[in-house]
Structure 1
Amino acid sequence: MRHGRISVCTGPAVLALTLGLWGLTREHSMWRDEAATWQAAHRSLAEIAHMVGQADVVHGLYYAVMHAVFVLFGDSLVTLRLPSVLATATACGLTALVGTRLAGRWAGMAAGCALAVVPAVQEHAQEGRSYAFVLAFVMLATWLLVGALERPTGRRWAWYAGAVLVAAWLNWFSLFALAAHAVTLVCVRADRARRVGWGLAASGAVVGALPVILTSRSQVSLVSWIKPLGWSTVLGVLATVAIAALCALLPRARRPEHTQAGEPHGRVSLAAVALPLCAVPQLGLALISVVKPLYVTRYVLFAYAGLALCIGVLVVTLATRLRTHARILLPATVAIALVALLPIELRLRTMESRVDDVLTTAATVDHVRSTADGVLFLPAARRDTALVSPRAFAGLRDLALAQGPVESGTLKGIEAGPRDIERAMLSARHIVLVTDPGPSRDSSAADRTKRRVLDTYFVRRSDSVQRGRRVSVYERRATGRPHSPSATGPKG
């Protein structure tokens, strides 16, 4: 039995591992979310605990794990991302196990391979963030759920509760999977004993996750950047759910693979597990986002596992219809999918694939810092590039910083008041500004002060926009007259 499980998992896991290791350093780049992981993981466990009480509590457990990884293996782009690669490979193996249990060996292997090929999964397999871990633990919980429904025992429900709890501590949006599992119980018409077992396990997991959920409510400003649902997102969700629903109509998806004699309530079909797992998280978060914008694909990345399970059944059904064996059709299908998605896959492994690159910004600052004596970050969150690459900022005085990120238990530190910032700026002759390339959105009084003082007392001498960030060097003017647009330096 164990040998059979290993053989089922191996193909999908190796495929996910290969795709994850391909171009892992992304041309030596790191974007802002990974920069948060980098700086948080370099803090002590006590400092991480201090920070999550004020910011990023939803990632607290992940930061602690990455702290241990950096201590054991050193810090690098590889060690930052390799845990996500391994978590993705584990998730694909678990998906294969679930598919095998519900629809047969080849359907399971096809499902695991399908999950590995999904572009969004490939993307987050190569990011130093928690989403691949969440995917792995949701699939572990799903596998444990199927086992507990077929042969319910207290130990099985306890393991299930533990997996759900860890997923919730990694990101409590994973509790949408718990809602999907509730729908599964309805679909299989679970008897009272199974409903009670699941209810106790689910309740225990939710209670255990309450500290994270309640603390995160006071940190809601951290997701204020999320935009309202757009039509492209809505259509993407509907298309994904529609494909899963059509595949779930296939006879093989609706027929339980394993039937327990004398236990009709333990029979579980793939459709009863896969379709809710695909639909409930996406539709649930989308509906909430109508009131409060929260929908980001990575928050419900695990929904793609439900889609992958449905696709696994589709591949086996096509093999039957085409009168060929799945061992022939599956490799061919994977190869065709990889070739068809090659432009997306190539782009995902470049520094242009993310919104910005803090390492390129740090290199630009390192090139110009000899001409300046102070640095400003606008907004303050752009300080992350200095926290990741402090050597590039050596000799530059942070003109706005009042208390550092570690001491303040924040990700970006605490900045001084507008008057103190203005006083510090006027004491400098040359200032390096690290900001965003687009139109300025100076939301705080400190940011408005930075912009006003630069416009009034300084003139821009150089300007460089690369990889999603702008680095400018300003020189103090001889007079206090605002400079005209023609006074700006060349753009490079």
Structure 2
Amino acid sequence: MIRRLDSACPPAPADGARTARSPAIAATQLSRPTPARTASPRPRSRRRWAVGAPVALSLVLGLWGVRRDGSLWRDEVVTYDMARRDLPDLAATLEQVDAVHGLYYLLMHGLFALCDDADPLLVLRLPSVVAGAAACGLVALLGHRLAGARAGLLSGIVFALLPPVQRFAQEGRSYALVCALVVWSTWLLVRAVDRGTARLWAGYTAVLLTACLLHEFAVLVAVAHAVVVPRTARPGWVRAVAVVLVGLAPLAVFSTGQSEQVAWIGGIGAVSWTGFGLIVLGAVCARLLGTPRVAVGRLDLPSLGLALTVLPALVLLVASLVKPLYVDRYVLYGNAGTALLAGAVLDRLGSGLGTRVVAAALTLALVPVTVGVRTPESRVDDVAAVEQAIRQAGVPGDGILYMPSRRRVWSLHDPGAVRGLRDLALERGPVASSTLYGTEAAVPVIRARMLTVPRLVAVRDPEGEPLDRIAQEAVKRDVLAASFEECDTLRVRGARVTVFARPGKC
């Protein structure tokens, strides 16, 4: 009996010894698949496909028509002008205005310095193209981790196709970069909740703080994160957000002294509330229509998607009841939640013929929008068209007026458009005054200058826009009405360029 047991259970070999195996046993063991070697490549390749395909789609959409026929709109001109100022001039301007975008302008300043000979429009917009693709890949990663490879793939594709995402992925402003960083912070949050390592919490803190320094309203994503973070992970999350708030506080306090730069934001109208209500309705339906509840570390996709879609925008809308602040691009990253919910629902519906037909129909319905956002008409104005109209209307020796003064931004991209024209209201230029649009002279000076010219070009907002009530704008209108007559008006996207002359001199 003892010998039989010994033969059935041979002693373990000493360290470093090689045991002999029979050919039959060796063949049997070699023929069995090794799980670690055959199972891992398939999930890894599925994840690469789920992430890579949406990223590629986003890059194609981002590069398609990125120059937009050579047009810019006024906010992009501000980026272009600020990024090309010398660092001392940039710092002096940020002390007066637009500090909230200071980090972005600094990044763009460095990029323009590196790419001095490149196409300015490409330099201006390529960071947003890359950021849009990165955000798309991160949305796909989130969907993959929380609901599987197909849900990740579909979420990434939906995100790339959303019209607001397509628009700001081609725009020389910070919103695509902020969106990418916010989605990245959300991805790190999911992993930190799952693993709870100090390294992941530190990464979440650093990325979220960077997003907030690029644009302060990125901090509103913390409200969405607060709702979905499970109790077990809440201490780590609270510490991380506390660090973010402390790091953001100096910029937030400083920028409150520049609140006049958001004075243009109007109250919330019925259109904004209706649009937000439809988004909420769609998100709630997606949450209730069988969206799979797949938890990773006690954090699930449906709750995360709904929170990202609704809460940042809702907080900004409610705050706007006290002081108007709501602009949809400030919470562009909420589209990541919409895409996650949509991708999970499409995944749950399966790959049947009906699902493919619905997906194809929705994609075709987006074609006009997709084409439209790549045209100059998709923005509120077309600076290139305004510049051309000024060239056409003015002759050397004419005066020029900007009504209101902030529309001087239309001439910052190409000063050659106004060469030979005398700016009748300007006291100090934008760089000399450390402002965005320059400062204007006192009322008597503007009146006297206007009365010295027989002809002038007025660059104005379209009809129906609110009129500024400050004294300088009022005197421009009064002198034009009393001492000039309108000769001709060129109407371009977002502007009127009008030639005025003394009576009988048109």
TM-score, normalised to structure 2, is 0.87
Q: Does 1:369 align with 2:394?
A: yes
Q: Secondary structure at the match of 1:395?
A: coil
Partner of 2:495: 469
2:139 equivalent to 1:92: no
Shift of 1:7: 3.1
Distance 1:409 1:158 in 2: 37
Which residue identity is paired with 2:491?
A: V
1:30 aligned to 48, 72, 75, which one? Answer: 72
Aligned to 1:52: 94
Q: Is the 8 A contact 2:396 2:421 kept in 1?
A: no
> 2:315 aligned with 1:315, yes or no?
no
2:368 paired residue number: 343
Given that 1:138 and 1:177 are in contact with CA atoms closer than 8 Å, whether structure 2 keeps it comes out as yes
CA deviation string 1:243-262 (max 9, x = no partner): 22222235553231x4xxxx
SS of residue paired to 1:291: coil
Q: Which deviates more from structure 2 when the two are superposed, residues 13-22 or residues 41-50?
A: 41-50
Answering whether residue 322 of structure 2 is matched by residue 281 of structure 1, we say no
Amino acid at match of 1:40: M
Corresponding position of 1:299: 330
Q: Which residue of 2 is the match for residue 261 of structure 1?
A: none
Q: Equivalent of 1:448, from 474, 486, 489?
A: 474
Q: 1:233 aligns with which of 272, 286, 294?
A: 272
| Distance change (3 Å), C-alpha of 1:96 and 1:335 | same
Alignment of 1:13-412 (within 5 A): 13-73=55-115, 74-185=118-229, 189-191=230-232, 194-249=233-288, 253-256=292-295, 258=296, 266-319=297-350, 322=352, 335-370=360-395, 372-412=397-437
Structure number, greater radius of gyration: 2
- CA apart distance, 1:462: 2.1
Which residue pairs with 1:263 in the alignment? none
Q: Which 5+ residue runs of structure 1 have no aligned equivalent? A: 259-265, 478-486
Q: Work out the CA distance in 2 between the residues paired with 1:348 and 1:92.
A: 18
Alignment CA distance shift 1:212-1:285 (3 Å): same
CA 1:124–1:94: 2 relative to 1, 3 Å: same
Is the Cα–Cα contact under 8 Å of residues 457 and 476 in structure 1 kept in the other structure? yes
Q: 1:413 to 1:75 in 2, by over 3 A?
A: farther
**2: CA distance, partners of 1:367 / 1:252:** 58
Q: Give the SS at the match of 2:76.
A: helix
- Give the aligned length: 461
Q: Over the residues paired in the alignment, what is the CA RMSD in angstroms?
A: 2.0
Give the deviation of 1:428 after TM superposition: 2.1
Distance 1:204 1:333 in 2: 45
SS in 1 for 2:463: coil
Tell me if the contact between 1:361 and 1:469 (Cα under 8 Å) persists in the aligned partners.
Answer: yes
SS in 2 for 1:53: helix
Aligned partner letter, 2:151: A
Q: Show CA shifts across 1:63-84 (max 9, x none).
A: 1111122222235222211211
CA contact 1:253–1:310 (8 Å) conserved in 2: no
* Residues in 2 aligned to 1:161 and 1:30: alpha-carbon distance in whole angstroms: 35
In structure 2, C-alpha distance between the alignment counterparts of 1:126 and 1:82, rounded to whole Å: 7
Distance in 2, Cα, partners of 1:347 & 1:437: 21
The residue aligned with 2:456 is 431
CA distance in 1, matches of 2:91, 2:248: 16
Aligned partners of 1:248 and 1:254 also within 8 Å: no
Give the TM-score, by structure 1 length.
0.89
Q: Secondary structure at the match of 2:427?
A: strand
Task: Report the Cα distance in structure 2 between the residues aligned to 1:369 and 1:75, rounded to whole angstroms.
Answer: 28
